[in-house]
A and B are shown apart, each in its own frame.
Chain A
Amino acid sequence: MIKSKIRKYHAPVWDEPLVMQMGQSGRRGSIAPKTESKIADTVGNALDLLPAGMKRANPLNLPELSEFEVQRHYLHLSQQTLGMMGISLFGTCTMKYNPRVNERIVYQPFVAEMHPHQDPETMQGILEVVNRFDHLLRKLSGLDKFVFQAGGGADAAYTQACMTRAYHASRGELEQRNEIITTAQAHPCNPATAAAAGFKIITLPLEDDGFPSVEALKAVVSNRTAALMVNNPDDIGIYNPHIKEWVKIVHDAGGLCFYDHANFNGVMTRIRAADIGFDACMYMLHKTFGGPKGGGGPAVGAYGCNEKLIPFLAGPTVETSADGSFYLKEGGENSVGRIREFLGNIPTVIRAYSWTRSMGIEGLRDAANISVLANNYMEKRLLEIPGITKGMPDVKGRRLEMTRYSLGELTADTGVSCLDVQNRMTDYGVDAYWLSHEPWFIPEPFTPEAGELWSVEDIDYWIDVLETVCNEARTNPELVKTSPHNQVVHKQNSTNLSDPAKWATTWRAYKRKYGVTN
């Protein structure tokens, strides 16, 4: 039953041209500092300083706009981005408030204008924050060291794949141990990064109780096993209660165990990776720890490991001297080298440290409790909407911070798909829900996650909008199928996107393919 009054909404429509279509020849948005005459007199004409054959012959075909025009253009584009201006319960991404104070902090020169190769003596503030945050994560995980070089969760999974290589290589067993085991419900980045690192992938299928069986694991574990990479709970909200046994089975066979803690939010302050027996884990600072998502980074996959794996960590790591100051240490002979250049996305490490200190252990506990409670609150209301069913309905017990649902019945009744519903919800100022990672186990899936951010009124409103759209699907399915109607642009035509003759990832490609001149 719809609880709220559905409000009027329309997205801003500027019908904004591409920046490449704007401006006039000769207009300037930026002037570079002019070289002083003494410099010019000393070195001569700039272009004469270039070797023969290495001077640009043709001017760049870039737009020419005034500074204000550029500013207004990108402000228009920002307004044409819904995101967190409405309600976004995008599951698996743990949408949070990104405290504005952190932007005030990290845009000051003592963060923004720091060079990674500075003398560590001049970087003590940054190194101290990294060190402090490392210690907070050690407490939350029970592990022994955290590093932040990985530029996202997938990069942390890749870090694990690289650590696995280095670990087994150091023992002379890598050629034999070339298999990594994961599950069908693990995030795609786990099998994908392990394969990119050279491993063969074994994916365990799910059983009726929502996770693979212990027997299935035992059947594939062998002296070829290099590592296990799993998440728990998964993004259906199911916790594998046999996970300690899993870890023991893999350890007994000589493999490493990596905990993809993408879904840490619901189990913060309850589950510590080390207590379960894992050798390493990953936290997403841009999700669980309050860092901004930026539409896809800069992100940080904080990677933590136990003593056994510390010698394999990528350099440089932050270490403490006897006098309490901090220094950077290069990796030793067993180090994996570099996953990425430098120390990682430092501003987001600072934001995450700040967020964690603001929360304290009691705040983290409250956040976990509230996110799981909110999910169970949603479930009660969502299952009252005709056409919505719960994913893996036979699995008993309360789900953790998210649950996957199916619109399959609604689709069967009306022909309206989960993507149509997603589009139509944006007509009410509610941005996309998450569907499901590949493979889909559930028809027409959707995965909302309320987390601790959204108020009970927001959650209610989100459900009310969904229910409104489900009602529309039954009374006027075309309205939903042709949606959106109140958005920046109409329903995207995706037929050109996979046609090599028609796709265009740049304006110059588009102009050639479609005969446009500008």
Chain B
Amino acid sequence: MMEKNKDLPTPHPFIANSAEASFNEMLKVANVTDIDELFEQIPKDHVFKGDWNFDPQIPSEAGLYKHLTRILRKNSSAEENLNFLGAGCWQHYVPAICDEMVTRTEFLTPVWGTPSSDHGRNQVWFEFQSQIGELVGMEFVGLPLYSFGTAGGHAIRMAARINKRSKVLVQSSIDPERLAVFKTYCGYPELDGYLEIVMVDTDAITGRINLDDLKAKISRDVSSLYFDNPNYLGVIESEAKEIAKIAHDAGAEVIIGVDPISLGVLPSPSEYGADIVVGTTQPLGVHMNAGGGVGGFIATRDDEKYAHEYPTLQVSLTGTSEPGEMAFGLTLFEQSSYGSREHGKDWTGNSVYLWTVANATYMSLLGPNGFAEIGKTILQRSHYAAKKIAEIPGISVTWPSGFFKEFVVNFDGTKKKVSQINKSLLSKKIFGGKDLSRDFPHLGQSALYCVTEIHTLEDLDSLVSALKEVTK
């Protein structure tokens, strides 16, 4: 008897059949006496026999909660401090019902069902795609991608498949983090499908794409031009229409990256020449999550030329056997990696689909007036901060107008390094802007400051007085 029950499990709250009665019933029906019989396919010398020396089990929820929170309370969050970091992940207010929806067990825990049993979730996906389409002014939108950078990487590859060209122009002010992802997606010269990235200069005076440099670098072998608007350094590419025209005249595709929270006040990129729009979804109701809140999207005109190059899955509105009833189904599944393995369009898999629930909820909450309002608040608050910071002796704002949400602050006149200043600010419970001195050395000791709707007048004035103090 002892021999037979050597593998009897210990009851655990996550495992119903860890109860002795259930376990024994299964053994009996499956006709198993020793659990090792079930692993007969595995050669003995493949099986690990050593000591695990594993961290001890914490089976109680109370114990687990205490263990985890004791560790995680060593963090000091952007809520406890005054945060001015943006740079690819932004602190916006997340409405409570966005959190309610993404933690609903129905949305949180499932994988795939049938079109009928998944109907509610599929509708959320469709509403996500539709509302993104409204923001960016495009009719074809896929399900989300892992991030802004991966969306851009895939978009660059879509363009190269469309026009069979192999050079990509990218604005030099781009987020280095995002550029690193692009480089990964563009491959190696030794292998098939390599795309060469060529940087287009940023005008030192304006902070925008240098049109002369663009004209010098554009050619008939350029597959696509990629730029963000506003760009990473916060500056609005106000000559976007002309930039797109220069690229189009050479037969290149124009890919524009956007932060959708800007689109209540800025025009949709489709209005100034975008062929493919990509962007982030994180500002739309998703917490920063230490970078784990990021997500991306791809949108284009509803044109087969583009639709047939999407790597993503996407839901389409369709009908059912019942006249007039709405349903949703996957369109162009066969071109995905699930449908065609290595012959598919790049690859897809689990992505950040849960965030579409937060995004759709967020966009529905804001509506046209909410987007316009939040855009205006961000414009005014960020410009106020920039103006007041620029009044501090030794500190300047590199491009003091024509920006949205983020702006570059230069500390050269203080003779201090950004890293020192940020350490001093931290002691005052302020997270200073992202240090740009390593990635953009020509900008000197500069930092990228991010101001959103969450920053009050009092917050901004506190920042200004803290900066005065730490740069004295």
Contact = CB atoms under 8 A, between A and B. Distances in A.
A181 to B, nearest CB: 12
A274 to B, nearest CB: 9
Contacts of B52: 139, 269, 361
A107 B114 contact: no
Interface stretch (A249-257, A292-300, A402-410): A292-300
A104 B181 contact: no
B219 interface: no
B248 interface: no
Interface string A499-513: 010111111111010
Given A369-B7, A488-B119, 6 more contacts: A153-B349, A195-B343, A200-B192, A298-B352, A454-B16, A489-B326
Contact of A494 (B135, B268, B329, B357): B329
B412 to A, nearest CB: 21
Given A114-B77, A189-B337, A369-B9, A126 B103 contact: no
Interface string A166-188: 00010000110010000000001
A370 B15 contact: yes
A233 B338 CA distance: 20
Nearest to A270: B47
Interface stretch (A215-223, A305-313, A347-355, A386-394): A347-355
A238 B193 CA distance: 35
A377 B380 contact: no
Contact of A341 (B127, B181, B334): B181
B29 interface: yes
B10 A366 contact: yes
A272 B85 contact: no
Interface string B240-281: 110000000000000000000001111110010000000000
B383 interface: yes
B177 interface: yes
B431 A119 contact: yes
A56 interface: yes
Given A32-B377, A438-B338, A492-B327, A362 B57 contact: yes
Nearest to A337: B180
Contact of A125 (B74, B80, B454): B74
B121 A77 contact: yes
24 contacts: A40-B380, A54-B238, A56-B263, A59-B369, A74-B361, A77-B120, A78-B120, A82-B113, A84-B106, A108-B72, A111-B289, A112-B288, A113-B79, A115-B288, A192-B344, A294-B355, A299-B349, A340-B147, A376-B30, A380-B30, A489-B320, A490-B322, A493-B319, A505-B315
B73 A110 contact: yes
A70 B111 CA distance: 24
The 4 closest A-B pairs by CB, nearest first: A360-B57, A83-B110, A154-B349, A342-B291
Nearest to B354: A294
B47 A59 contact: no
Interface stretch (A93-101, A440-448, A468-476): A93-101
B32 A46 contact: no
A189 B141 CA distance: 22
A441 to B, nearest CB: 14
A271 B26 contact: no
A60 B368 contact: yes
Given A119-B431, A346-B290, A493-B319, A295 B110 contact: yes
B191 A51 contact: no
B291 A113 contact: no
A350 B58 contact: no
Nearest to B423: A119
Interface string B15-41: 111100011011101111001011111
Interface stretch (B62-70, B163-171, B210-218, B220-228): B62-70
A18 B456 CA distance: 36
Given A60-B263, A298-B352, A372-B39, A36 B337 contact: no
A151 interface: yes
Nearest to B240: A54
Interface residues of A, number: 224
A34 B46 CA distance: 65
B100 interface: yes
Contacts of A487: 114, 116-117, 119
Nearest to B235: A51
The winner among A84, A299, A342 for most chain B CB atoms within 10 A is A342
A113 B65 CA distance: 19
A449 to B, nearest CB: 11
A370 B23 contact: yes
Contacts of A110: 69, 72-73, 75, 77
A438 B342 CA distance: 11
Nearest to A83: B110
A4 interface: no
Contacts of A119: 422-423, 426, 431
A191 interface: yes
A124 interface: yes
Contacts of A196: 157, 193, 346-347
Interface string A75-93: 1111111111100101001
Contacts of B10: 362-363, 366
A293 B290 contact: no
B46 A271 contact: yes
A318 to B, nearest CB: 11
Interface string A46-79: 1101111111110111111101001101111111
Given A71-B97, A78-B107, A55 B267 contact: yes
Nearest to A286: B350
A479 interface: no
B339 interface: yes
B80 A370 contact: no
Contacts of A93: 111-112
A130 to B, nearest CB: 10
A423 B118 CA distance: 11
The winner among A122, A194, A294, A344 for most chain B CB atoms within 10 A is A294
Interface string B78-111: 1111010101110101110101111111111111
B3 interface: no
Contacts of B104: 75, 78
B411 interface: no
B205 interface: no
Contacts of A361: 52, 54, 57
A359 B60 CA distance: 10
Nearest to A293: B111
Contacts of A336: 184
The winner among B18, B76, B91 for most chain A CB atoms within 10 A is B76
Contact of B350 (A191, A293, A346, A422): A293
